[in-house]
Amino acid sequence: MDASQIECVLEQERQLNEENYRTNWEPRKLDGDAFYTQFARPLRNGGNNHRYPGMKALLDDLLAQGEGPFLDCACGAGEMAIWLALHGKRVWAFDLTEAAIQIARQSAELSGVADRITFDVMDARCLRYEDAFFCAITGKDCLHHLIKYPGAIDELARVLKPGGKACFYEPLAFNPLINALRYINIHLRGYVGEHMLTREDVRQLGTAFGDAQLSHHAVLSVWTRFIASMHEPLRGVRRRICMTLIDLDEFAQAHLPFLERFSACAYMQLVKRP
């Protein structure tokens, strides 16, 4: 894409997100356990999300780090930022969408952590943070959006301290069959500018930060996406199918590690070179 096309896609994404947050979201009080239960608690232990292996690795990594400062990039309604603050972290968070930031600020007030989070409307290509300010950076399903916009990844690397870690759970473009199904879904739903991380993107991220490591690959378990939503509790047969696919995935990759080449999602750690 040339510069004018990039700006057009960015504006379309912004407008769609503004409409989504104004129509479908509202401020709410969050507690210290709800976010973890929704995204990271194992299904057998009361969790309700089929993506939990990678998300659990991400959130456990964040909990193990110090008080911060943390950066939640493309924070949306601020759920992860609020969860971090509820666990004693000092957080800065930004999103391009003004409606999302308004909801995030009000939710932080309701949750009693507004004094621990700084929310801003900001373009990832020109972050208003000092160099090497953050101990850790995180985000959920955001790098594959940001990497389309030249300069955004370099900005994230700029504001991370040397030796600091950036933790993300991201969709990957490694699986041809899943890519084809995604292509159909994107066009049916009229999504704008969708892009999954390619191997070249992963190399670019490694170059920008110094090191990129992928783990908790979703190969077989990615098929849970067709019977489960990220935002609805899993019950009955759907829960049992998801647990079976996740178990099969872990077993298959332990014995056939080459399957990682076909992963559709993974937990990504980017460590900035000291």
* Distance linking the first and last C-alpha atoms of the chain: 33
Mean pLDDT of 83-108: 98
pLDDT in tens, 152-174: 999 999 999 999 999 999 999 99
- Listed residue (273, 257, 115) closest to 205, CA to CA: 273
- Supply the pLDDT for residue 186: 77
At residue 97's C-alpha, the angle toward residues 94 and 99, to 5°, is 110
> What is the C-alpha to C-alpha distance for residues 62 and 60, in angstroms, rounded to an integer?
5
Continuous segment of H or E residues that includes residue 225: none
**How large is the average pLDDT for residues 262-268?**
96
Report the C-alpha gap between 271 and 211 in whole angstroms: 5
Q: What pLDDT, on a 0 to 100 scale, did the predictor assign at position 84? A: 98
- Interval 117-133: pLDDT, tens: 999 999 999 999 999 99
Find the mean pLDDT for residues 9-27: 92
In tens, the pLDDT along 41-50 reads 999 998 999 9
Least reliable range by pLDDT among 3-7, 32-36, 63-67, 68-72: 3-7
CA dist list (Å): 88 to 29, 82, 85? 17, 10, 5
Express each pLDDT in 193-241 by its tens digit.
788 999 999 999 999 999 999 999 999 999 998 899 887 889 999 999 9
Q: How many domains does the chain have?
A: 1
> What is the residue range of 55's domain?
3-271
Which range is least confidently modeled, 15-19, 97-101, 190-194, 219-223?
190-194
Query: What number is the average pLDDT over the span 88-98?
Result: 97
Report percent pLDDT > 90 for the chain: 84
CATH number of the domain to which 252 belongs = 3.40.50.150
Confidence band, pLDDT 50/70/90 cuts, at residue 62: very high
Give the model's pLDDT for residue 6.
84
pLDDT band at 54; cut points 50, 70, 90: very high
Q: What average pLDDT does the structure give for the chain? A: 94
Q: Sort strands 212-218 and 117-121 into parallel, antiparallel or unpaired.
A: unpaired
